[in-house]
Chains A and B, each alone.
Chain A
Amino acid sequence: MTALTDLSLAEALEGLRARAFSSRELTAAHIEAVERARALNAFVLETPDKALAMADASDARLARGEAGALEGAPLGIKDLFCTRGVRSTAASRILDGFTPPYESTVTENLWRDGALMLGKLNMDEFAMGSSNETSAFGPVVNPWRSGGSNRPLSPGGSSGGSATAVAARLALGATATDTGGSIRQPASLTGTVGVKPTYGRCSRWGIVAFASSLDQAGPIARTVTDAALLLRSMSGHDPKDSTSLPVEVPDFPKFVGRSVKGLRIGVPREYRVEGMPREIEDLWGRGVDWLRDAGCEIVEVSLPHTRYALPAYYIIAPAEASSNLARYDGMRYGLRVEGPTLSDVYQLTREAGFGDEVKRRVLIGAYVLSAGYYDAYYLKALKVRRRIAEDFHQAFEQVDALLTPTAPSAAFGLGDNSADPIAMYLNDIFTVTVNLAGLPAISVPGGVDAQGLPLGLQLIGRALDEGTLLSLSGALEKSAGFTARPERWW
């Protein structure tokens, strides 16, 4: 019999319903895997007792025939999600010891459907980063290694713990969030499936805010079907989030496996950037062939403002972050460093509580919003943002979805990009446009490079058209036949 941790989420749910094994057995197997994998640093807090108690409750519901859609499935939760009675830090010293008295809507939805929590997952501090190196808990180590080398690689970020936990078979799936690529880039670097839904599809309530007009929660999973199962439970209108969309949640898993014949797929020429590794270009070409073979029509399209997306993002996201992070003042929760005056307390608390990248972004945000610079930077960026959104609207008049690479490289070494902020920011070159436009996108593993490291393909869709993306992702998954997995060294 397959090890319980090797089952997909869909297979595990089937086994639980057939009573082939209990949720307690399934959960215990995952707890053991988590404990053996501490070298990966994927979890910032393990909650085995809570997991087993939730598993027992699930087993009781399964016995009564009252199983929810995810009944008994052990998941990992990114530490950006507030979880009632369980420390939630956003991987920041400033929230050390913060124990929310409330539950985020997305996790509440997962528990409503019977899922259970193995623990809280590591991430870049406040989700600001593309390598998981800005975490106050130290970086996550990618379970994948480059062809025989022992060099530790980054799993990407900010959802590096989520991607690693799923890739290393520590959890059947994980929650994640994506402000500029933080679900899709780590999914690409770890050979997992990551879905960034339409802005407003998942409630932001109870998720520690980074850049509120860009933040969106979504799942990371090992298969497209698993991602669809998680997305269906995570989604839904929430009156507590004023930007949550009052729309029905489609039955997402039903879209996986549907024919994609006749769909028109756009290949944006501006994504063919200078210096892109040959292997990524080749994979992109194979992705085009796979979709053409599946009956899609391939169309070259233009998104002329693509190259301006990252600079616009690095005004808008820090501006929103500097505003959102103003709440960390050492008065009501989190860290407080005492000083002679009130102003000293604020300044010392924030100096000690925030890491370098968070400080950098808060300072940029304060600068671009300050008197005299607001129009030149912030307003200009909002206008460019509209140009970028219009590019997509025009493209979607001709096509049903776009196919691009997810990230400009495979997993890189820890420390390789950390000295140069702009080099790190360029990781999100293919993902950030989607956040600015509020559109859904999925990263699907497409293959491995010559070093055996996974590479992802990204599908971008119309607003609220995750269904079509899931059908296309299913087609890519089938053609790619991605069966590679990281060999256990931890």
Chain B
Amino acid sequence: MAIDVDTIRKVANLARIRVPDERLAPLANELSGILSWIEQLNEVDTDGVEPMTSAVAVSLPMREDVVTDGGDSAQVLANAPAVRSGFFVVPKVVE
């Protein structure tokens, strides 16, 4: 399926990646090329086939609901771009 510039703009917004205007058309072109190559999947008969959601046939294990870790706020914050008084500093969310 051909992807147009509006779709790229919408998807870029969903992915929170700014795309400059001059890149919209080339990206639409590239992604259209990749997706039309992917369309060959429609040749495969998948009626009644269960989607494969895991590479291994084991169910996810459960663990005890207990604290195993913690008290490491200094380490958690160590790589943050901005920190104040033991908190992440983020841009204003609510006016």
What residues of chain A have their CB less than 8 Å away from a CB belonging to chain B? 97-101, 198-200, 213-214, 239, 242-243, 245-246, 305, 307-308, 311-312, 314-315, 322, 326, 329-336, 338-339, 341-348, 350-351, 354, 359-360, 362-367, 370, 377, 379-387, 389, 421-422, 435-438, 463
The answer for the CA separation of A381 and B41 in the assembled complex, in Å, is: 7
Q: Contacts A341-B91, A385-B52 hold; do A101 and B75 have CB atoms under 8 A apart?
A: yes
B34 near A386: Cβ-Cβ < 8 Å? no
* Minimum Cβ distance to chain A for residue B37 (Å): 6
B79 near A331: Cβ-Cβ < 8 Å? no
B11 near A370: Cβ-Cβ < 8 Å? yes
Q: Does B63 contact A (CB under 8 A)?
A: yes
B91 near A347: Cβ-Cβ < 8 Å? no
Instruction: List chain B residues, Cβ under 8 A from A341.
Output: 91
The answer for the CA separation of A33 and B45 in the assembled complex, in Å, is: 54
Residue of B nearest to A422 (CB): B37
A-B contacts besides A311-B38, A315-B41, A380-B42, 12 pairs, CB < 8 Å: A200-B58, A239-B61, A243-B58, A331-B90, A342-B93, A343-B16, A351-B18, A359-B19, A363-B11, A370-B11, A383-B49, A386-B51
* Minimum Cβ distance to chain A for residue B36 (Å): 10
A239 near B17: Cβ-Cβ < 8 Å? no
Which of A362, A421, A436 touches B34 (beta carbons < 8 Å)? A421
28 contacts between A and B (CB under 8 A): A100-B79, A101-B75, A198-B56, A199-B56, A242-B60, A243-B58, A243-B60, A311-B41, A314-B34, A332-B79, A332-B88, A336-B81, A342-B91, A342-B92, A350-B18, A360-B27, A363-B11, A366-B11, A367-B7, A370-B14, A380-B41, A383-B52, A385-B51, A386-B51, A386-B52, A389-B52, A421-B30, A421-B33
Residue of B nearest to A329 (CB): B16
Interface string of B2-22 (1 = CB under 8 A from A): 010001100111111111000
A335 near B38: Cβ-Cβ < 8 Å? no
Interface string of B21-65 (1 = CB under 8 A from A): 000000100110111011111111010011111111010110100
Instruction: List chain A residues, Cβ under 8 A from B14.
Output: 366, 370
Q: Does B78 contact A (CB under 8 A)?
A: yes
* Minimum Cβ distance to chain A for residue B62 (Å): 9
* Minimum Cβ distance to chain B for residue A353 (Å): 9
A364 near B34: Cβ-Cβ < 8 Å? yes
B41 near A347: Cβ-Cβ < 8 Å? no
Which of A307, A311, A336 touches B82 (beta carbons < 8 Å)? A336
The answer for the CA separation of A389 and B54 in the assembled complex, in Å, is: 11
Instruction: List chain A residues, Cβ under 8 A from B37.
Output: 311, 314, 422
Residue among B12, B61, B75 with the highest chain A CB neighbour number at 10 A: B12
Instruction: List chain A residues, Cβ under 8 A from B66.
Output: none
B17 near A363: Cβ-Cβ < 8 Å? yes
A438 near B81: Cβ-Cβ < 8 Å? no
A366 near B72: Cβ-Cβ < 8 Å? no
* Minimum Cβ distance to chain B for residue A420 (Å): 9
Q: Does B80 contact A (CB under 8 A)?
A: yes
A438 near B55: Cβ-Cβ < 8 Å? yes
Instruction: List chain A residues, Cβ under 8 A from B55.
Output: 199-200, 213-214, 243, 435-438
Instruction: List chain A residues, Cβ under 8 A from B79.
Output: 97-100, 332-334
Instruction: List chain B residues, Cβ under 8 A from A344.
Output: 18
* Minimum Cβ distance to chain B for residue A39 (Å): 32
A346 near B51: Cβ-Cβ < 8 Å? no
Q: Contacts A101-B72, A308-B44, A342-B91 hold; do A382 and B38 have CB atoms under 8 A apart?
A: no
Instruction: List chain A residues, Cβ under 8 A from B52.
Output: 382-383, 385-386, 389, 436
The answer for the CA separation of A465 and B61 in the assembled complex, in Å, is: 23
Instruction: List chain B residues, Cβ under 8 A from A370.
Output: 11, 14
The answer for the CA separation of A365 and B35 in the assembled complex, in Å, is: 11
B54 near A213: Cβ-Cβ < 8 Å? yes
Give 6 nearest A-B pairs by CB, closest first.
A438-B55, A382-B51, A333-B79, A383-B46, A336-B81, A386-B52
* Minimum Cβ distance to chain A for residue B14 (Å): 5
Which of A99, A200, A366, A422 touches B78 (beta carbons < 8 Å)? A99
B40 near A311: Cβ-Cβ < 8 Å? yes
Residue of B nearest to A305 (CB): B44
Residue of B nearest to A315 (CB): B38
Residue of B nearest to A383 (CB): B46
Residue of B nearest to A420 (CB): B33
Q: Contacts A311-B37, A314-B38 hold; do A387 and B17 have CB atoms under 8 A apart?
A: no
Instruction: List chain B residues, Cβ under 8 A from A239.
Output: 61, 63
* Minimum Cβ distance to chain A for residue B9 (Å): 11
The answer for the CA separation of A363 and B81 in the assembled complex, in Å, is: 25
* Minimum Cβ distance to chain A for residue B52 (Å): 4
